Homo-oligomer: A and B are copies of this chain.
Amino acid sequence: MVIGRITLKDVAREAGVHTSTASRALNPQTQSVVNPETVARVLEVAQRLGYRPHPLARGLRTNQTMTVGMVIPDVENPLFGPIIAGVEHRLGTDGYSLLIANTDPRDDSSLTVIDALAERRVDGMIIASASRVDEHIRRLHDQGLPVVQVNRMSNEVEVPAIVGDDHAGIGLVMEHLVELGHRRIGHVAGPGTFSTGLGRREAFLEWAGKLGVHEAPIEEAESFRMMPGYRVTRRLIERNPDLTAIVAANDLLALGAYQAVSEAGFTIGQGISVTGYNDVPFMQFVQPPMTAVRVPYRKMGVEAASVLLEMIADSETVRPGAVWLTPTLSVRESTARPRS
């Protein structure tokens, strides 16, 4: 490996003290019990030799890896980039590193992936892949491992979750559409197995009632992808030909809706308005530019990491069950006044 690595023993010998003394001198916690002059000498030697503590040796003794695991349902989804960036940034300032694991959505690899991370003895875990009922999360929590959920949440109320405020987000969209004059609005829902799918669906219904929307049919897509969005929107339009707007539960579903709406002979924006959710990169460049709810994903990552670090530092403190981050609305050309 790296030749001539400097160990604590080297520092101790060079400074003329025992390794235990050198250790205490180097550790801010225990520095106070060591003679200040000795501390200075050890520090100087450590600096001069370029001493770096061996993380494995330290971790073995202290039972900490200074490592956090993160489980992503699909790294290729641009949604997760900003979350990862936020998490990584926050962790880095506290000296923690981020171990990434990707669950292939095709097979259910989440079990092995989570176990692999747990076996690495990470100090905590951030789960971006929660299902509403998620035994993996419960198991981790039962084992006493600090865990937080991000983006989506399970029913495990004991595990903190940092998520977007779907009720507020759908509210932004619905108020926008109602303000434009829409009263017959359909919802392309995401899978009810995820909190985002279910939450946006419930919010849709609630806002529809509150805002006096006459007609508010819902069709549920089997996944948050484009083709299901296409199929479901077709069905929605066939069954409810008078709809003037479609609220999709995410951007990809909305892109599917774009296609279905076009094929049905409507102009998006003019004939039927369509909205997305998440506002992933490039939604301003699709045709027409998509009106979508924007969720502060980077901030979400930062928050999740912060909460996790708190839990790691002090596992007793009572933590918030959930934090809802307030979204904003990016209004673009896929929404307009309804056709008369």
Contacts and interface: CB of A to CB of B under 8 A. Distances in A.
A97 interface: yes
Contacts of A321: none
Contacts of A1: 63, 144-145
Interface stretch (A17-25, A81-89, A155-163): A81-89
Given A84-B100, A97-B117, 18 more contacts: A1-B145, A56-B59, A56-B65, A75-B84, A75-B88, A78-B81, A78-B281, A84-B102, A88-B101, A89-B102, A92-B116, A97-B99, A97-B101, A99-B99, A282-B283, A282-B285, A285-B287, A286-B286
Contacts of A88: 75, 100-102
Tallying the copies of this chain within the complex gives 2
A143 B2 contact: yes
Interface of A: 1-3, 52, 54-57, 59-60, 63, 65, 67, 74-78, 80-82, 84-85, 88-89, 92, 97-102, 104, 113, 116-117, 119-121, 143-145, 255, 258, 280-283, 285-287, 298
A295 to B, nearest CB: 14
Contacts of A255: 285
